């Protein structure tokens, strides 16, 4: 369950409701129109037809491999890393097979850094490794080069490529067709969903299902929260309320830096995903929004100096988990626990920041599990779509990213000639 605590926001919910009543109604009306006309398709991903296919594939492959390696760049890898760290915690791969409930280890390679590639090779037995290759078109240079590299490694061991590679690709792409011709297992990426809004697609459903994350339940959970997220009532819709808070702070108060503070280490990469989504979605034309993130209490020892002092140009968003499930007392002779330290640190940081007129609010989730994390993710996606309507810009394109890709490809061809994967 998601709660939005705006006690320290420095302006009230009723003020926001009154000031933005018309704008909110117009925005939500357009959101609903786009949803009903299939122009907001990331909200329809609960209709994924591949869940049973994924589970059958997992059942067949899970016991045959010790390692699953995701080969993908940026969003294709960031999703899996964020959800793995959030739901399976920090040291999942260090657990014994028994403690992993007989599930394989999961690694993510999203870079062409040769040292990182070598580090992974040192710990993998390739005979016991399945690679998940994620690329929309098969022309992502980083992903395809790593794919080619490991294909050569598998061939040298006289192993069958189709048994050690599975492909996730655009449903109508040549990459998918060529992969099927080579008898690879292939799962689709819907072409109508923008990459950074592909949370509930096969991009991360497949790798996460390997580590025993319940993907079947997402259909019901997403269906249950969609009605709330499509409502124009800011007292009920957390996506709308937080979008209004952001818009008011950026547009009316000229505070164009957003700081995210998760009060749990394993939520850090989830916040990294959100930060990247905002970068690509909101940094357009004259909307100069910069996002940053920190881990508390670690970064209280350094970054607080920046946030307390001037200029007062930041919106601070805390993310708090009310029940961390596990808690340890520091000493048997004392009552204080580590959760007490964490909660008090957050409380007094929030209090002191507020006393210096720093605008902040808290997103609270009751606990960390599939349900709350799914709801949080889709809430943040809808929040971004609402900001699109507030600002009248396209949150789903990425013109400068595409320019960089094209320039890189041209220069590589110019220097090394045509290359094929």
Identify the active-site residue in 98, 301, 332, 420.
301
Give the residue among 47, 210, 68 at the shortest CA–CA distance from 133.
68
β partners of residue 225: none
Radius of gyration of the chain, Cα coordinates, nearest whole angstrom: 23
Write the DSSP symbol of residue 337.
B
Q: Which residue has the tokens 């491999």?
A: 65
Distances (CA, A) of 198 to 193, 242, 305, 378: 6, 21, 36, 10
Q: Which residue has the tokens 């690879």?
A: 184
Identify the active-site residue in 142, 272, 280, 389.
280
Specify whether 405 is catalytic: yes
CA 177 to chain centre: 28
Specify whether 66 is catalytic: no
Residues 310 and 411: their CA atoms lie apart, in Å, by 43
Quickly list DSSP for 166-190: EEEEETT-HHHHHHHHTT-EEEEE-
Task: Say if residues 62 and 104 touch (Cβ distance below 8 Å).
Answer: yes
Quickly list DSSP for 258-326: EEEEESSGGGHHHHHHHHHHHHHHH-BTTB--EEEE--TTGGGGTTHHHHHSS---EEEEEEEEEE-S-
Specify whether 339 is catalytic: no
**Between 238-247 and 218-229, two packed helices, what is the crossing angle to 10 degrees?**
50
Sheet with 290-293: list strands edge to edge: 2-5, 360-367, 314-323, 257-262, 290-293
CB neighbourhood size of 418 (10 A)? 6
Residues 239 and 250: their CA atoms lie apart, in Å, by 16
Identify the active-site residue in 8, 19, 275, 405.
405
**Which are the catalytic amino acids?**
280, 301, 405
């Amino acid at each position: 369950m998601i709660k939005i605590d705006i006690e320290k926001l420095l302006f009230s919910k009723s003020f926001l409701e009154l000031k933005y009543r018309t704008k909110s109604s117009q925005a939500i009306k357009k959101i609903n129109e786009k949803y009903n006309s299939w122009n907001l398709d990331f909200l329809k991903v609960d209709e994924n037809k591949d869940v049973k296919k994924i589970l059958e594939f997992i059942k067949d492959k899970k016991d045959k491999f010790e390692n699953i390696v995701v080969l993908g760049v940026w969003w294709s890898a960031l999703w899996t890393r964020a959800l793995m760290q959030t739901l399976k915690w920090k040291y999942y791969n260090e657990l014994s097979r028994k403690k992993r409930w007989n599930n394989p280890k999961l690694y993510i390679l999203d870079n062409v850094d040769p040292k990182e590639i070598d580090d992974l090779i040192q710990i993998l037995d390739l005979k016991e490794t399945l690679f998940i290759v994620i690329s929309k078109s098969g022309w992502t240079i980083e992903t395809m080069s790593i794919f080619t590299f490991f294909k050569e490694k598998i061939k040298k061991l006289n192993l069958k490529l189709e048994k050690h590679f599975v492909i996730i690709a655009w449903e109508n792409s040549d990459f998918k067709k060529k992969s099927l011709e080579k008898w690879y297992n292939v799962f689709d990426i819907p072409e109508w969903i923008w990459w950074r809004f592909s949370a509930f697609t096969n991009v991360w459903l497949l790798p996460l299902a390997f580590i025993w994350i319940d993907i079947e339940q997402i259909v019901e959970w997403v269906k249950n929260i969609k009605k709330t997220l499509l409502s124009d009532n800011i007292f009920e819709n957390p996506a709308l309320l937080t979008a209004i808070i952001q818009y008011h702070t950026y547009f009316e108060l000229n505070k164009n830096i957003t700081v995210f503070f998760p009060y749990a280490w394993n939520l850090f990469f989830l916040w990294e995903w959100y930060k990247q989504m905002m970068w690509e979605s909101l940094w357009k034309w004259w909307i100069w929004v910069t996002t940053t993130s920190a881990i508390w209490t670690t970064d209280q020892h350094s970054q607080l100096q920046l946030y307390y002092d001037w200029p007062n140009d930041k919106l601070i968003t805390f993310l708090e988990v009310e029940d961390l499930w596990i808690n340890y007392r520091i000493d048997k002779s004392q009552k204080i626990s580590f959760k007490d330290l964490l909660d008090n640190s957050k409380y007094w940081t929030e209090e002191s920041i507020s006393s210096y007129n720093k605008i902040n609010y808290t997103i609270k989730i009751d606990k960390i599990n599939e349900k709350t994390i799914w709801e949080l993710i889709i809430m943040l996606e809808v929040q971004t779509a609402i900001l699109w309507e507030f600002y009248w810009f396209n949150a789903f394109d990425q013109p400068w990213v595409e320019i960089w890709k094209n320039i890189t490809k041209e220069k590589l061809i110019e220097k090394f000639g045509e290359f094929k994967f």
